[in-house]
Amino acid sequence: MARSSTRMKWVSIFMLLLPHLAFTLTEDGLVPNGDFEQPPSNGFPNDAMVEPAGPTEIPNWKTNGNVELVESGQKQGALILVIPQGRHAVRLGNEAEIGQDLTVEKGSIYSVTFSAARTCAQLESLNVSVPPASQTIDLQTLYNVQGWDPYAVAFNAETDTIRLAFKNPGMEDDPTCGPIIDNIALKKMFTPDKPKDNAVLNGDFEEGPFMFKNTSLGVLLPTNLDEETSSLPGWTVESNRAMRYIDSDHYSVPQGKRAVELVSGKEGIISQMVETTPNKQYSLTFLLGHADDKCKQPLAVMAFAGDQAQNVHYTPNSNSTFQSENLNFTAKADRTRIAFYSVYYNTRSDDMTSLCGPVIDDVRVWFSGSTRIGVHRFGIAILALAWVLL
């Protein structure tokens, strides 16, 4: 009784604290006018009664070059422009740039989520920068049939005020053939503590980039060669092609609310360097499943741990959307690389175009020796207990 009332007291203290926690968390999300739905002082270009004299100003943003507010239904030649969210977005012409100054916490890692769509250029790319960091995202690969995708890139805030900028580095014959961007959000990354009995950091993928609740396309994670600056703390996307970060609101996720879908075949490698003790035996365990996104089977991953590699096929099972896998290895050094890629290039069976693949989650690396002793001891304890009870 006393214990339950103490628990109630703690629960009520926690409930009292909740609104304050939520207040701090509201910092994560859309940047000011990050969805470009805020009307310019002279109205949206298509609503204007008279042709505007100069380029339209975009509230909260500074622009450079041919930046245009575009609207859903708007055409470019025979092509209807893709607007990722709401009614408006911006299109960046040749070498055009859009940027915004933001106040952040110096020394923290931030991840920026944004949606991008291609228009008419063949080799479209987008440069995302927070000086001195800068990354060019390849928009050439269409990951899904809707024509746009959310992406996330991370950076380290070296100052309290940063300039977040998006630039089209292209030089096309048609200067308006540039990418469309929309839905720009920022999230301060938090690095989870290293679990006691697991050498993998963020092995359950629960900490990751900002995701919009109403967006069902997941978030693509392009290459991040620097493991310290990752939208997925602990993990590195080593390859040219992206991973898809998925949520349980829109996909099947084996554990918790988030997981990673390997959508780029052998060209999409995700890895982590984990701390190990040389000559000790370890187990790499993980959950392998499907995302419930009509992905055409077979699904399989190649799992690596040090010098061990194993090809694992997903076996469809009507009772579960995932299965548990294990790979044993002996550590050769004090750091061991674990990595995964998809063996096949999969597409959705309904549109035959959207990229998909196997899902991995709950990745763990542990001493296989010590675990066995633990299970053994537990067995003895059960036997002893049974003997006492009898």
Going by C-beta distance under 8 Å and a sequence separation of 6 or more, which residues neighbour residue 386?
A: none
Cβ closest to Ca ion, residue 128 vs residue 253: 253
Cβ closest to Ca ion, residue 35 vs residue 204: 204
Which of 74, 100, 135, 255: binder of Ca ion (CB under 5 A)? 255
- Is 325 a binder of Ca ion (CB under 5 A)? no
State which of positions 353-372 bind Ca ion (CB under 5 A): 361
Cβ closest to Ca ion, residue 139 vs residue 291: 291
Q: What burial class does residue 281 get, using C-beta atoms within 10 Å of its C-beta: 0-12 exposed, 13-18 middle, 19+ buried? A: middle
State which of positions 199-218 bind Ca ion (CB under 5 A): 204-205
How much helix, strand and coil, in percent to the nearest 5, is found in the chain? 15, 40, 50
From CA 215, how far away is CA 249, in angstroms rounded?
10
CB of 254 to Ca ion, least distance (A): 7
From CA 70, how far away is CA 49, in angstroms rounded?
17
Number of Cβ within 10 Å of residue 181's Cβ equals: 25
CB of 302 to Ca ion, least distance (A): 20
Instruction: Point out the residue whose Cβ comes nearest to Ca ion.
Output: 256
Contact indicator for 168, 180 with CB cutoff of 8 Å:
no
What stretch of H or E contains 201? Answer: none
Cβ closest to Ca ion, residue 187 vs residue 258: 258
Piece of the chain touching Ca ion by CB under 5 A; list 11-19, 257-265, 296-304, 370-378: 257-265
Q: How many chain residues bind Ca ion (CB under 5 A)?
A: 7
CB of 346 to Ca ion, least distance (A): 20
Report the first-to-last Cα separation within the chain, whole angstroms.
31
Cβ closest to Ca ion, residue 89 vs residue 338: 338
From CA 329, how far away is CA 312, in angstroms rounded?
16
CB of 71 to Ca ion, least distance (A): 38
Distances in Å between the Cα of 177 and the Cα atoms of 126, 371, 383 are 12, 58, 73
Cβ closest to Ca ion, residue 205 vs residue 366: 205
Report residue 383 as tokens.
């036997």
Cβ closest to Ca ion, residue 3 vs residue 213: 213
CB of 206 to Ca ion, least distance (A): 5
From CA 130, how far away is CA 165, in angstroms rounded?
7
Nearest to 358 by CA among 344, 379, 378, 338: 344
Cβ closest to Ca ion, residue 35 vs residue 247: 247
CB of 170 to Ca ion, least distance (A): 37
> How many Å separate Cα 331 from the centre of its chain?
29
Piece of the chain touching Ca ion by CB under 5 A; list 82-90, 259-267, 292-300, 337-345: 259-267
Which of 32, 52, 256, 374: binder of Ca ion (CB under 5 A)? 256
Nearest to 174 by CA among 311, 66, 275, 49: 66
Cβ closest to Ca ion, residue 149 vs residue 247: 247
Residue 162 DSSP SS3: strand
Report the interface residues with Ca ion, using CB under 5 A: 204-205, 255-256, 258-259, 361
